[in-house]
Structures are given as C-alpha cells and as structure tokens.
Chain A
Amino acid sequence: MYTIYSATGCTRCKIVMARLRQLGLDFAEHDMKAAGKEAFQRFYAANRRAIFRGPEGVEFPLLTDGQTIRQGLGPALAWLQAGPDALAGFFQVGVLHKEWLDGIDISGGDPARADDFLAVLRHLKQNAMKLEIATDGGNAALLAAAVREGLADRLVMNVRGPAHLYGQLAGRPVDPADIRATIALVAAFPAKQFQTVVAPLRRADGAVAYLAPGEVGQAAALIAEAAGDNHQPYLLRPFRPEAAADETLRRAEPLAAAALLPHRSAARTHQVKTEIEKTG
C-alpha cells in the first residue's frame, strides 16, 4: 500500500497516480491543499529532514510505502519501475517546473539497469515531459541510446575538470574514452550546455586547492578536442562548499565570482563562448 502526498493541480502527481493505477498498485492520496492537509502536516513533521525543498518550496509528489520515501516525478516513477534502489543515482528531485524535468543523471546509475532506466524516460516522454539529462561523461553508450530514441530534450554535461584529475573530481574511476564520446554526443546535440564547477580538490601534497585557471583551460581544451570545435556553450560555476559531501571540502573558503575571471580567460582560449554563472 502506497501513500502519495500531492498538491491540487500538480500534474506530476497525476502522472505518478496514473502509473500506480496502471501497475494495479493500491494507494491513498492526500492532497495537502485540500482534505489531506493534516495528514501531510503529520507526515512532514515526522520526515522533514528527508524532504527536499527547491527554490519554490517542497517539491511534489511525495511517495511512500511507510518505509521508503521518494520525492519528485523521476524518483517516484523509477521506484515503481524497478524497486526502491535499482535505479538509484539516475534520478533525483529536480528544480525545473512546468513541462521541464531535470534531476536525471545518466552517468549516476548502474548501466546494467539501462532497460529500466530507458523505460522510465519513455514513460516520461509519453506524458509530454521535456527532459533535461545531465551527465559527467559516464555511461556514454546509454546516453547515445537515449539520444537515438529521442528521449532527451536538453543535455547538460558537467565536465569535472582536465583529464588527469577527472576521476578524482568525479569520485570514481572514469574511462577517458567514455568522457570523450559523451562530449562528442553533447556537442552535436541541438540544446546543450557544458559546465564545470570550479571545485577544490586534495592535491598530491595533501593540501586542498581549487582548480587552477590552467586546469580549467585544459578542461576547455578537452571539450574542444572531443567536440571538434571551440564554440560550445560553456559555463563556469562557483563551488558551493556547503553542498559538498566531503567534510574537508565543506570547509573550503568559497571563491568570489571575480576570482573565476582568470579561469574564464584560460578557458576562452579553447572555448570562446565561456561564461561565468551569475549568482545572487
């Protein structure tokens, strides 16, 4: 028995409920703007630490079976497709609204579950969602399959850094051929964005230091080499220490936006359209 917390007029909630019905699964709905208000308050008070808030507040739907909670359209459908954890890493709660859905990370999940993953994307497309798919270069073959099938509407590639630091920045071993193949796929896609978070990392001598301008320049050169041109939309993003998983990195002093100007100069040598993300 599932419980879904919804909001009046929430299309994404309706898509999940339709899926539950399609799969013949029992569920109770609590609309937090109507009769389900008190039930939602109780649920929220008990689980608020696990509930994500985007820029516009609590994201709906929230789906639970009493033990597991999945929030947002992607994660909820992924659960119904393949169980609570099989597609973990592929789907997170996004922040985009209306017909656009983000929070899909093609390099974040297990490629052995490609069929289930693509099935979720197909279901989303059948429901007229536009999908923004993120990647850091892993699972290039899966990305190629999704693109081939027309399941992507926008691609965002997080280029972690230059090739020699890529694995360390990604937090897992990476295959350079996979990265290059992904760059080529993204570069050839009509709606795309390359971006690099100018992040700190632990260096060989143990010190923590941010990606240097030259290293970001190398990342830009990597894009140029694999994409075959120097005109890709490329965004440099400031690192947000508070969001870092690693505690040492969480203590890093944030860089001022102006501190990224030398990085931009270095990157523009290889990607002439490089810009710095506007913040605040």
Chain B
Amino acid sequence: MSNGTKPVDALRFPAILYHREHTWLQADGDAARVGISDYAQDELGDIIFFELPAVGQRFAAGQSFGSVESVKVVSTLYMPVGGEVLAVNDALADTPELANRDPYGDGWIIAVKPDGPGRGGLLTSREYREYLKTLK
C-alpha cells in the first residue's frame, strides 16, 4: 500500500498495541478489541466494505480474519493475537466508513477473547510509528 495522503507524523496512534500488518489490539478486561490503524485507513482511502468472520470463529495470531475493501484496494485483515471472535461490529455493514472516521473508536472491527496473555511481536505506538517511517 502506498496510497496514503498524510505523513506519518500527521496520523494518530494512541497507546495501544499494533500489528505490523496495521491492525491494533486494545485490552478490555479479559477480552480485547481489534481494528485497523489510522495509517491503514489513510492508505485505503474510502472504505466501502468489510468481509468479517462469524462470532465463535477462532484464529491464530497473524492469521487472516477477513478483508477490507476500499475503492482503491482490497486488503486482508490480520489477527494481532490468537483468539476467539466474541463480537463483530455490525455498524460497519451499513457504515463501513466508520473505520475511516474513527478507526480506534466506533470503527472497531471485532472483539476477541485472546488465547493467552502473550503479546509477542506487537508494537507499542512509538515502535509502530518508527516502523511506519521505514515504509513511507
């Protein structure tokens, strides 16, 4: 992907964990939410569709759990941790651009029950920002 319009420093990365394939993970008690980063939504441009898993499906860390489609590209979504899907953000079906407008809030994609406490390989917001600079 290299369609983004903004420099990395103009993007927002709250203090949560990030996967190198541009999904994020935010703990919420025993569960956690997963979405795409501000960088990902900027690169995608206008998002028009999400293909999402069913509740109860299990995925390993790094495995594809769905895809996101914009006018420009179709992109695979990767699990930041292994776990079971507890919920899917139904609002994305009618309003996929929520992930453009609010990627860390209303634009969350799925909620998962992580397989364990391990978060190996995920990046802090600072590390993720540095990593992105190597991509730009």
Contacts and interface: CB of A to CB of B under 8 A. Distances in A.
Contacts of A247: none
B93 A45 contact: yes
A45 B73 contact: no
Contacts of B96: 41
B74 A53 contact: yes
Contacts of B73: 57
Given A32-B48, A41-B97, 12 more contacts: A7-B71, A33-B46, A37-B97, A40-B48, A41-B48, A41-B49, A44-B49, A44-B69, A45-B93, A57-B72, A58-B71, A58-B72
Interface residues on B, range: 10 to 19
B46 A56 contact: no
Nearest to B69: A48
Interface of A: 7, 32-33, 37, 40-41, 44-45, 48, 53, 56-58
A56 B49 contact: no
Interface string B53-88: 000000000000000011111100000000000000
B54 to A, nearest CB: 17
A134 to B, nearest CB: 26
A73 B73 CA distance: 21
24 contacts: A7-B71, A32-B46, A32-B48, A32-B71, A33-B46, A37-B46, A37-B97, A40-B48, A41-B48, A41-B49, A41-B96, A44-B49, A44-B69, A45-B48, A45-B49, A45-B93, A48-B49, A48-B69, A53-B74, A57-B70, A57-B71, A57-B72, A57-B73, A58-B71
Nearest to A60: B71
Contacts of A7: 71
B77 to A, nearest CB: 16
Nearest to B50: A45
Q: Which of B46, B71, B74, B96 has the most CB of A within 10 A?
A: B71
Nearest to A58: B71
A44 B68 CA distance: 13
Nearest to B70: A57
Contacts of A58: 71-72
Contacts of B48: 32, 40-41, 44-45
Listed residue (A32, A44, A57) with the most chain B CB atoms within 10 angstroms of its CB: A57
